[in-house]
Amino acid sequence: MAFRVFCLSCALASALCSLMPAHRVAAAEPAAGNDDLSRPRLVIVIPDAFEPALDEYVQYRSQKYQVQVIRLSQALSGPGVDGPERLKRCLYRLWQQPGGPLAVLLVGDADQIPVRYMVLDRVTEPAFDYAFYPSDHYYADVARDDGSFDDWNASKEGFHANYFGEVRGEKHKDDPINFDQVSYVPELAVGRWPVSSVAEITAVIGKTLAYERGLSEQTARRGKALAVMVGGWIDARPQMDQFASGLEPQFEVERLFFRDANPRWIESIEPTAAAVLARLSSPEPVRIVLHAGHGQDHAWESCISTADLLALRQTASPAVVMSAGCSTARFATLPPYEAYVDTEGTIHAGTNHGEVFREPPPPPSVYARGIYNKSGLGEELVRLETGGAVVYVGCNTGSQPAAMTLMAGLADALSAGPLKFPTVGDCWKHALGEYYRREHLAQLKPTESWYPASIFFQGMKFMYFGDPCVGY
């Protein structure tokens, strides 16, 4: 059975953390010759009540990794101004310890594991020209260039003390775009399982382990990939074609590109939902799926959506999926436009429902619970018991064409193969670092356009749902 790859293109705490013992299952016998400190490390952060559900997963990962399970209550018991910073300082201390590269799996949706919101000076008068966006990149970028802790909060005067990862340049043209001096390039490979119950954790673990075991059985065969391009904000077909060509030494790639008057694509297979589902459901599993084009919370526009979840559950194998489109990795409420609860517990209707802020809006709570815990296609694909996605990378809000640079970095890493980038988490970590370099984020300055600020924070609003240690 061969594996396939698809390219879809639409036009476009304290010392507590460091001294905590490994999980009781993590002490299982390591593979022969792999018991030294050079082995890669995996830290799993999980709400206390969910820890027993991890046993099988920890046993499996302990064959190759030094595994440490940290209860959320322990991670949040150290110093820091709030939950996200306490957790990040815990991860920073672990990163400082000697040993192999460090991956982090956050087990919990926005209602379980604290969320860090970054801030943009987006021009919207009722919102007092501010917007908040969830950013798990906060947990991956733990250190500055000199190795010191990066709190993403260099500007602490007045209300800025409670605004993290501030990006300016859309409204304010005289300030640096990187207002909080975020170092950006990640030290850690971070992934999140967006789960809220033991049943969801059990399902995701079962699917992840089945995927890994199936992958190990097929190491001698080329995988399959799918490149899907549907109509969108730009015509990304040439870029998607380039990504597909780069993957072809490692994978058998099929291109599904929208057709128009351009003769180059006149014979392309149209990326309809039926066409995509047919390929994902074929006996030869698809391992990689790349999508570009318009997106919505619950759909790749004119393509698959959450209405297709039953069919996606039947696919031969879960895939590693990335979408460059808008909002498909919807994760939590988006204040101050949508309704939210702030850090003081006050409920806000949001500007979409008529609220007007006469001063900088109070930051949102670090947990998005109940109606504030939004979801989308990416989360649903990862949470499926079978099929769907084993990893989903996508944007939790509006995406812009610069997202194609993120996809380029991921595609390059996947093309280089597991010998250079052993896991999908490694590939995404590489993509974020390459984005910083290729888009020259250190040199970006405000212009009359809103776009430079958007280039800067593009990588900050992309989510990685899934285990960072999965192979491909």
**At 111, which amino acid appears?**
D
Residues 372-419 have pLDDT tens digits of 999 999 999 999 999 999 999 999 999 999 999 999 999 999 999 999
Residues 342-373 have pLDDT tens digits of 999 999 999 999 999 999 999 999 999 999 99
Residue where the block lists tokens 């870029």:
239
Q: What is the pLDDT of residue 31?
A: 38
Residue 27 confidence class, pLDDT cut points 50, 70, 90: very low
Contact 79, 93 (CB under 8 A): no
**At 4, which helix (H) or strand (E)?**
strand 4-9
Which structure tokens are listed for 399?
């995406």
The span from the CA of 89 to the CA of 227, in Å, is 39
Residue 8 has pLDDT above 90, yes or no: no
Residues 410-460 have pLDDT tens digits of 999 999 999 999 999 999 999 999 999 999 999 999 999 999 999 999 999
Q: What is the pLDDT of residue 7?
A: 57
Strands of the sheet containing 131-134, edge to edge, are 131-134, 117-120, 164-167
Beta strands in 72-175 (DSSP E): 102-107, 117-120, 131-134, 164-167
Q: What is the pLDDT of residue 18?
A: 44
Residue 188 has pLDDT above 60, yes or no: yes
Which of 123, 121, 141, 142 minimizes the C-alpha distance to 132? 121
Contact 390, 318 (CB under 8 A): yes
Q: What is the pLDDT of residue 284?
A: 85
Q: What is the mean pLDDT of residues 328-344?
A: 98
Residues 287-298 have pLDDT tens digits of 999 999 999 999
Contact 470, 208 (CB under 8 A): yes
Residue 196 has pLDDT above 50, yes or no: yes
The span from the CA of 192 to the CA of 464, in Å, is 6
Residue 15 confidence class, pLDDT cut points 50, 70, 90: very low
Q: What is the pLDDT of residue 433?
A: 98
Which of 399, 390, 225 minimizes the C-alpha distance to 301? 399
Q: What is the pLDDT of residue 168?
A: 98
Q: What is the pLDDT of residue 231?
A: 87
Residue 20 has pLDDT above 90, yes or no: no
Q: Which is higher by pLDDT, 12 or 55?
A: 55
Q: What is the pLDDT of residue 218?
A: 63
The span from the CA of 459 to the CA of 140, in Å, is 12
Q: What percent of the chain has pLDDT over 70?
A: 92
Angle value at C-alpha 318, between 314 and 324, nearest 5 degrees: 115
Q: What is the pLDDT of residue 232?
A: 85
Average pLDDT, the chain: 92
The span from the CA of 294 to the CA of 271, in Å, is 13
In sequence order, the 6+-apart residues with CB closer than 8 A to the CB of 423 are: 103, 189, 468, 469, 470, 471, 472
C-alpha distances in angstroms, 239 versus 35, 388, 418? 43, 25, 23
Q: What is the pLDDT of residue 22?
A: 43
C-alpha distances in angstroms, 369 versus 52, 110, 115, 332, 406? 23, 7, 11, 9, 30
Q: What is the pLDDT of residue 233?
A: 83
Q: What is the mean pLDDT of residues 171-197?
A: 98
Contact 164, 153 (CB under 8 A): yes
Contact 136, 192 (CB under 8 A): yes
Q: What is the mean pLDDT of residues 218-244?
A: 87
Which of 338, 461, 454 minimizes the C-alpha distance to 394? 461
Residues 29-46 have pLDDT tens digits of 333 334 567 899 999 999
